[in-house]
Amino acid sequence: TQTLLRIIQLLEEEGIVVGGMVTEPIIEKRRPVGFHLVHWATKERGVFAHENLKSRHRSGRYGIAIEVLEDLGVLPSPTPGSRPT
């Protein structure tokens, strides 16, 4: 993830528009307990996975909030690779 974020930073410094989404860890008491889903263009975020999330959708110890993926994952993004005019 850190490599991807660095590449995105370099592209944006060149004026290239980057779209999509990334996950960021949720750390509590120095321990990972879940993930935020972040829409790159709007910076909107939601709790996508968490140990305390009650859901029939699970990945390991995490409950998964499919609605967060549906809400943030389908937001329009700028055309990736384009340059602002």
Cβ distance 17 to 84 under 8 Å? yes
Residue 73 pLDDT level (bands cut at 50, 70, 90): confident
Round the CA-based radius of gyration of the chain to a whole number and report it. Answer: 15
pTM (predicted TM-score): 0.77
How many whole angstroms separate alpha carbon 83 and alpha carbon 45?
24
pLDDT tens per residue across span 5-47: 899 999 999 998 888 889 999 999 999 999 999 998 888 999 9
Element (H, E) at 80: none
